[in-house]
Amino acid sequence: MLLAIWNCILIPFDVAFEPERSTLAQYVEGFIDICFGVDILVSFNTSFLNEKTGFEVAEYKKIAWNYISGG
């Protein structure tokens, strides 16, 4: 949640003012991007319970469809 808040503040600031970035700032931004990428991969590999049947769904395509559709 903190990384999302950080991005909500930093991205509009970067677009508006285009500041010079230090090497440390570039590494921090890269780390944040990697964290969000890992979050996506973990979300696509987390099973869920089908509300209609009560069974656990562990098939990648169904997990991805559920994640994308917000169901």
Q: Where are the domains of the chain?
A: 20-69
User: Which pLDDT tens digit goes with each residue over 18-63?
Assistant: 999 899 999 999 999 999 999 988 888 888 898 899 999 998 888 8
* DSSP summary character for residue 6: H
* DSSP summary character for residue 20: -
pTM for the model: 0.67
Give residue 71's pLDDT: 67
Number of other CB atoms surrounding residue 70 within 10 Å: 5
**Residue in the block written with tokens 């909500």:** 8
C-beta separation of 48 from 57 below 8 A: yes
Strand spans (E) along the chain: 48-49, 56-57
Q: Residue 69 is encoded by which pair of tokens?
A: 């559709």
Checking if the pLDDT of 16 tops 90, the result is yes
Give residue 21's pLDDT: 87
